[in-house]
Amino acid sequence: LAPTVLQKIKPLDGSPDCTDSDQLAARRYLADQGISLATAIAAHIGCLRHYCITKNSEDKREQASSVFPCIAYVNYLNGQPINAKYRSCDPSNPQPSPQEEKTEKPVYTKCWSQDSPTTPCAPYNIDCINPLLVTTEENIQRLIITEGEKDTLSLLEAGYQYVISMPNGAASE
């Protein structure tokens, strides 16, 4: 990835005193997905304000969107960042006030974008099976391949270490 791309992405941090709106939006989104901040930080998740793409609900064509708070799935190969996929973490339904009882999780917009010098992107979290990073004492018994980055994070949260996602998700058929 170009240094200019990486400069836009803010790594998530665990500071309890955080006031950055992008960090807080990313934390809320991840928490609503059942992903801990510790897992997200270990997986190199970042955040930023980014222009994303949305699909027309009627004909599924990509269309212009706007700038949203996003999480950034930064993918590494041989310890180097090689691509980044951005997913909006902006709730599309209004948040209840603190006085209101929160009964439902928010529904998030489905906007996305990516910076990748290759097409398709390499599978997310591919470095987990990098022979230079896996110690010789380890024996990879199982590699789990998921449909997307969020699924990979969910399995990492559940304690599975060797999980990658398909480069462009699953086919809609």
The answer to which of 67-81, 108-122, 148-162 has the lowest mean pLDDT is: 108-122
Q: What is the percentage of the chain residues whose pLDDT exceeds 70? A: 80
| Average pLDDT of span 57-79 | 76
Over range 6-31, report the average pLDDT.
94
- List the 67-77 sheet strands across, edge first: 10-11, 45-51, 67-77, 80-88, 112-115
Mean pLDDT, rounded, of the chain: 83
Q: Which residues contact 41 (CB under 8 A, 6 or more apart)?
A: 11, 12, 13, 14
Least confident of 41-50, 55-64, 99-108, 141-150: 55-64
- Of the listed ranges 61-65, 76-80, 105-109, the least confidently predicted one is 61-65
Q: Would you state the pLDDT for residue 101? A: 54
d(CA 89, CA 110): 8
Q: What is the pTM of this model?
A: 0.81
| Confidence grade of residue 48 (pLDDT, cut at 50, 70, 90) | very high
